[in-house]
Amino acid sequence: MKRLNKEVELFFNNYYKDHDQLQLEIEKWIDGTDKGLDDLSNKAASFESDFEERFEKVNHWLRKKQFEMENRFEPK
């Protein structure tokens, strides 16, 4: 019975040691993933801002060209 108790105790000690180690690895992975998601969110916001700025420039250029074309083809 003593040997069985010792084996059970070893099993649980090893199980919890492995469990704690895996839990630490998972927490490190979660921290890395959260950091990556934050970086991605920042890059997406920067991209969106840059895209909107460029789109506004293109829109302004198109309005200018439209005005020029309308003036060119208007009967005088």
Please tell me the distance from the alpha carbon of residue 28 to that of residue 6, in angstroms, as a whole number. 33
**42 phi and psi angles, rounded to 5 deg:** -65, -40
What total number of domains does the chain contain?
1
In a domain, residue 44? The reply is: yes
Q: Which domain holds residue 75?
A: 34-76
Please tell me the distance from the alpha carbon of residue 16 to that of residue 22, in angstroms, as a whole number. 10
Phi-psi region of 35 (alpha: psi -120 to 50; beta: other; left: phi over 0): alpha
In a domain, residue 76? The reply is: yes
- The proportion of the chain whose per-residue pLDDT surpasses 90, expressed as a percent, equals 62
In a domain, residue 56? The reply is: yes
In a domain, residue 4? The reply is: no
36-72 confidence digits (pLDDT tens): 999 999 999 999 999 999 999 999 999 999 999 999 8
In a domain, residue 15? The reply is: no
In a domain, residue 12? The reply is: no
In a domain, residue 60? The reply is: yes
- The three-point CA angle 9-16-5 to 5° equals 5
In a domain, residue 48? The reply is: yes
